[in-house]
Amino acid sequence: MNAQRSHSPPQRRPRWHRALATVLALACALPASGWAQVRLPALGESANADLSVADEKRIGESIMREGRRDPTYLDDPVLLDYLQSLWVPLVQAARQRGDIDADTAAYFAYEAFLLSERSVNAFALPGGFVGVHLGLIGITNSRDQLASVLAHELAHVTQRHIARSIAPGQRSSMVGLAALLLGILAASRGASADVVNASIAGGQAAAIQGQLNFSRDMEREADRIGYGLLGAAGYATAGMGEMFERMEVANRLNDAGNFPYLRSHPLTIDRIAEARSRTLVPGSAPPSPPLAHALMQARARVLMDTSAQGLQRLVRGETSSPVLADRLAATYAGAMAATLLRDPARMASASTAMEEALRRVRGANPREPLAERTLLLLQADLQLARGEAGAAVQTLAALPAVDSPGVSPRPALLLRGRAALQWGRQDASAAAGDLRRVTEDLQTWVTDQPQDAAAWEQLAATAEAAGLQLRALRAAAEARAAVGDLNGAIDRLRAAQGNARNVQGQDFIEASVIDARLRQLVAERRLLVLEARGGR
């Protein structure tokens, strides 16, 4: 789906809507030739005549620069790592099939991210970004079902559907653009928020309605391409049909606005029948093991409502289901809720329940290392909440290896940083070695993943505790830069410069990096200002 159809009313997500206004302003500044030809390209045909790859990348990055600072943007390391473990094989399959050409491979991010929304939704943005709501994860029963949605959205990206919709939707896009600009103008003149939001929402509604018929063709194309990606990535292709069936059932209910995915992805009889018929084709992979996904589904449901009242409903961790996956999910949700509530008695009970859950997972056939790893990560988090930092360090050291694309050391690395800091406060001499090791490991990680704001923040904390002041200051600056706060990053780097006088050895190298990075960020900020002014 396109960016305009991906979000709720403006009052709920101010940063995303400011970003979208910027996007449309950028689109308005594109060369006139970009709007010239009104047609639907054939499958695989370049969409550069409508919107260039470079422009699409720039638009997507503009949205994400604002969106990463929005309260709904969720960086839960465990759940995000699971999403990546599903996403990466799909991207790899798209490359192998030739769906990703050289231009988009070089320019697009191909990044999946989470939003802490209860609604059942997922969407593609320009530049290869795909967002997933917690509510979508919460209703899926298997990783194949969730992967089918990711495959569908990835197909929107690889087929350049957003770029291809620019010219056919020229009139409706301009209606939406005019409404957004009117809203921005009203805001600059001090109009009330209700007036601004009404003008933006009304214009967007007109633009959306005008593109629905056109988007149905793209949805069918995304179904077909996504189905091929799903199988090529090793998932059970029945997951797409199962997901459609679940959506069809949900569509019969009064969803009270909680199922935007159903409205922006119209479930016609033909699409449902086609998805079901594909399951009859031989050669599909068998259904995936259920335990890891059940745990992640439980985690998503906990994160949907972290209020005290919401956590209280889950903390008992009980279910009447005899199915192992259901029982593990209930235990996991209860332990996570107890950890977030910080209730000593409940955490003690949850710790006992987690030991039993680990025993059951280790005895499962087939064995699922990812499920075991997921339980151990929560156990370490629970131990930290109980003040048992040394035990948490030992738990993290016992994590099983998981040989799967997309599964990274990131969740454990961030937990190790927290554990080392807490252990250092309890016993500085005993924790000194582990604190130094995790600092170096975090430094290695952010060298390869420079946009990881949470890792930079963790590095800032561990480096400061280890007495590495310049590294800590630089890491704090990089954390701000990673979420698009260039002013905050520049301020921190200038503060680091003030602490870098007369340094030698390793500190001299760090000071040189700070000087170079400051110049780079100042230049980047200047370029963004020029873009915002239309290049003047």
Whether 363 contacts 378, CB under 8 Å:
no
Closest CA to 327 of 359, 369, 287: 359
Question: C-alpha distances in angstroms, 271 versus 179, 305, 434?
Answer: 33, 33, 55
Q: In whole angstroms, what separates CA 81 from the centre of its chain?
A: 9
Return the residue matching tokens 């056109």.
214
**CA 380, CA 311: separation in Å to the nearest integer?**
19
Point out the catalytic residue in the list 50, 55, 144, 153.
153
Return the residue matching tokens 């800091």.
421
Residue 414 amino acid letter: L
153 in active site: yes
**CA 366, CA 447: separation in Å to the nearest integer?**
36
Closest CA to 182 of 4, 15, 403, 25: 25
Give the tokens for residue 249.
């059932």
What is the sign of the dihedral through the CA atoms of 519, 528, 117 and 212? negative
Closest CA to 198 of 182, 219, 174: 182
Point out the catalytic residue in the list 99, 117, 223, 485.
223
Closest CA to 5 of 169, 167, 239, 140: 169
Strand order in the sheet with 122-125: 73-74, 111-115, 129-133, 122-125
Which residues make Cβ contacts (< 8 Å) with residue 525, sequence separation at least 6?
Answer: 486, 487, 490
Give the tokens for residue 331.
């235990």
Q: Give the CA diameter of the chain.
A: 73
Secondary element (H or E) of residue 74: strand 73-74
223 in active site: yes
Q: Which residues are catalytic?
A: 153, 223
